Amino acid sequence: MRTLTSFFLLSVLLAGCASQGKISWGKHLVYRDAGGAPVMQIDYPSEDFCRRVESVAAANAKCEPASTAGVLRAQATLWYNPPDLQVLAHYQDLAACQKANSQMASGVHLEKPCTAK
């Protein structure tokens, strides 16, 4: 079973080669549960980059213009290499953050560990 971090790395790596997917707006890639509540958010540097990642991400992930970080209670800073990119990730709670980042995929470095907000 892949960890969320492994999936994110794969998403980022594939985004560089992915064709443009469906049109959406915003640089916050928000993952929502079946009820529509945000469970995780990754902040990317631009709308374009977010859309490229969205095109290869899970179906419950969409780029959104407004951040949902205010309702998510934990965060970590990740470094992807390639493409030499730092991102801030927000999680539902500290346990979810720690679980998602317990095993880092090749090329992913936990720049700043999980902290509660």
- Look at the pTM and tell me if it is higher than 0.85: no
**pLDDT number for residue 99:** 96
Higher pLDDT, 53 or 30: 30
Confidence of residue 26 (pLDDT cuts 50, 70, 90): confident
Residues 62-82: b if buried by 16+ CB within 10 A, e if exposed: bbbeebbbeebbbbbbbebee
- The proportion of the chain whose per-residue pLDDT surpasses 70, expressed as a percent, equals 79
